[in-house]
Structure 1
Amino acid sequence: MTGVADGGWPEAEGLAEQLALQGDGAVRLVLLYGSRLLKTAPDQHSAFDFVVIVDDYKGFYKGLAKYRQLGRPLALMQGLARILAPNVIAYDGGNGSLAMAKCAVVSKEDFEQALGPSPKDHFLLGRMVQRIEIVWSQSSLEDTWVRGVINGAHRGVLEWMAPYLSGDFSAEDVGRRLLEVCYQGEWRPESQGRARMVFDAQADHFAQALDPVLSAAAVSGKVLGTTEGRYALAAPASAADRRRWRLHFRRSKRRATMRWLKHMMTFAKWLPYVVRKAERHTGRSIKLTSLEKRMPLIFLWPRAIHFMLTKSNRGARP
């Protein structure tokens, strides 16, 4: 469920508060998600994963630029803000602090669209239906707003998951399958077993978030209650729905590929970050050549393709 950190994550809360102060009044909320929150084998210096919700892209980036926190030209960041939103940036605590966050910066309007019934891709939706915590908020009204948007995303899960469900299932089963589908819908530097680890770390979240969704669907007749806590689709997903979501995830994967190219432009020090993440999640040591370090866009592709093709492939495909 969507919780409030309330002192439970002091390092993340402090970093989020500093980010909000330097964001020139544009930050509405900072959400924590990902491996640090779920404690899925990050090291102590792993970056926090933040979604930073703003009401003004231009003002936010201007604020960071004043504090020399942007790491990229201001005009570039403003220009890319609405192309494959969100921009992803690196943010650190400064003054020798090791605290760092990987921030997905998104406007309230773009956040609502990404979690609505017709998302352009699954980048935010696949992350925000998982466990998150609010680590900074401008007001209680913003808390209420973001909870409403995320609860709406939970209610919509059954629509896009129906083509990937068969037999009877529980809320936890839907959550497990959801992660398999979402992980298959992106190019990620982790093994396929990562989806299982991430599910195990938040199985209770999916039970709490999705059981009311399935109960409501049973009342409306979309699913049938087979035994207590278990359900089945009242009718298989139509051919049109299967085609719609199959094409959606193909489009999402293409957009994920383009988004990686965008990350290289917006995320300072993206290359060591990706290498470190790949090493952490796969247990492999990765040594880049001097050419790969100097011109990764040209020389790193063969290694990246080989890496993706040789990952553990035990995960279920959508």
Structure 2
Amino acid sequence: MTGALASILSVELDRPAPEAVQALVDEILRSSGPVAAILFYGSCRRSDDPSGLFDLYVLHDGHRRFHRRIVPAILNRLLPPNVVLVRTRLGDHQVRAKVAILSRGQFARRMRPASIDTTLWARFCQPVSLVHVADAPTRSWVEATLADAARTAASWAVRFGPDRGTPAQFWQVLFARTYGAELRPERTNRGGLIYETNAAWFDRVLVQSLHDLGLDASDHEGRLCPAMKRPLGLELDWAIRRVLGRSLNLLRLIKAAFTFENGADYIVWKIGRHTGRTLDLSPWQRRHPLLSAPQLLWRLRRGTGSVGSSV
């Protein structure tokens, strides 16, 4: 990784996290096996919202050593990441985090351009804070792995982006594609909002990543001209990622409904947070999240505001 890209990434990696996040990190370290690194990302980080549900990613070097139990270790090996709810107290208040857990090897493989699963590199080409790291070599590994995510994002952005355009145009096209490859209801301007929260950083990451890839990233009147030929079969390659990506996300939602505390309520809360829509669950739907999922998805696609059922 070039020193220039490492320097750009470090600006955000070193950004201080709220006191609540540090309290949650301390709780994770207290209650789990060895942890290599913990990353803080997501909407609460972008908005500096200290009262929401924080998003943390925990990276480790061994499923059994970290989880200390065989079933979670097997589930995480087969369908990463495992997702758990971590709660602790900060003064008189309870703080919470949605914590995704996977091994360093699983994380690194999903940062590469050949990865079928777009979920992780699409998140970690965005700004994140490194809120815990085991040692200096692990810090260097985190920087190198996130640089892989940035270069992967840049390579896909120029394949789908304009022949000549502003960095904002490339990022917005990319995020529209990656959100479309997930089973996540999002507002149509979601990618633009993410870019606008840290536009200067995104611009620098894109230009440096293109430079690392050996592409002409010359800036002409505020526009980039990467001059990358679109390979044959590009749409087919992405269609495969979209189909498999949505399938993976559906399987993860099903797993979360059964392994995440109050999983059904969390899923509905997440839909509401990303779409602004209020979805109500009946007691039966809370008890049977898998059976009720087809009805919820159908009502959501039809645009029905309330999906509660009297069943």
TM class by smaller structure: 0.7 to 0.9
The alpha carbon displacement at 1:79 in A equals: 1.5
Paired AA for residue 214 in structure 1: L
Partner letter of residue 16 of structure 1? V
Secondary structure at the counterpart of residue 82 of structure 1: helix
Stretch deviating more after TM superposition (133-142 or 293-302): 293-302
Residue aligning to 2:30: 21
Distance, in Å, in 2 between the alignment partners of 1:224 and 1:141 is: 31
Determine the C-alpha separation between the residues in 2 that align with 1:114 and 1:224.
Answer: 25
Query: Contact 2:113/2:152 (CA < 8 Å) preserved in 1?
Result: yes
SS where residue 51 of structure 2 aligns? coil
**Secondary structure at 1:239 match in 2:** coil
Which structure 2 segments of 5+ residues have no match? Answer: 1-8, 306-311
Matches within 5 A, 1:122-271: 122-217=118-213, 220=214, 222-223=215-216, 225=218, 227-271=220-264
**Deviates further, 207-216 or 27-36:** 207-216
Contact 1:187 1:257 in 2 (8 A): yes
Q: How many corresponding residue pairs?
A: 295
Runs of 5+ in structure 1 lacking a partner?
63-73, 313-318
Aligned to 1:53: 59
Which residue number corresponds to residue 39 of structure 2? 31
Q: Note the C-alpha offset of 1:233.
A: 4.2
Match of 1:12 among 4, 21, 27: 21
Q: CA 1:143/1:311 → structure 2, altered by over 3 Å: closer, same or farther?
A: farther
CA RMSD, Structure 1 to Structure 2 (Å): 2.5
* Contact kept in structure 2, 1:77 and 1:266, CA below 8 Å: no
- Distance in 1, matches of 2:292 and 2:115, equals 34
Taking structure 1 as reference, are residues 300 and 158 closer, same or farther at Cα in structure 2, changes over 3 Å only?
A: closer
2:274 maps to a residue whose letter is: H
SS in 1 for 2:209: helix
Deviation at 1:194, TM superposition (A): 2.7
Shift of 1:94: 5.5
Q: Output the CA distance in 2 between the equivalents of 1:279 and 1:18.
A: 28
Residue 294 of structure 2: aligned partner: 301
1:206 offset after TM fit, Å?
1.0
The whole-number CA distance in structure 1 between the counterparts of 2:162 and 2:190 is 23
Counterpart contact for 2:162–2:170, Cα < 8 Å: no
Report Cα offsets for 1:68-106 as digits up to 9, x if no partner: xxxxxx433122011221111111115975211111101
SS state of the match for residue 304, structure 1?
helix
Superposition deviation, residue 251 in structure 1: 1.7
Code of the residue aligned with 1:20 in structure 2: it is L
CA shift for structure 1 position 188:
1.4
Residues 235, 199 of structure 1: CA spacing in aligned structure 2 closer, same or farther, 3 A cutoff? Answer: closer
Residues in 1 aligned to 2:31 and 2:43: alpha-carbon distance in whole angstroms: 25
Q: Which has the higher contact order (CA 8 A, sep 6+)?
A: 1
CA distance in 1 between partners of 2:76 and 2:217 (Å): 43
Question: Does the alignment pair 1:92 with 2:87?
Answer: yes
TM-score between both structures, scaled by the size of structure 2: 0.85
CA distance in 1, matches of 2:87, 2:14: 20
Q: CA deviation at 1:5?
A: 4.7
Q: Using the alignment, how far apart are the partners of 2:134 and 2:299 within structure 1?
A: 45
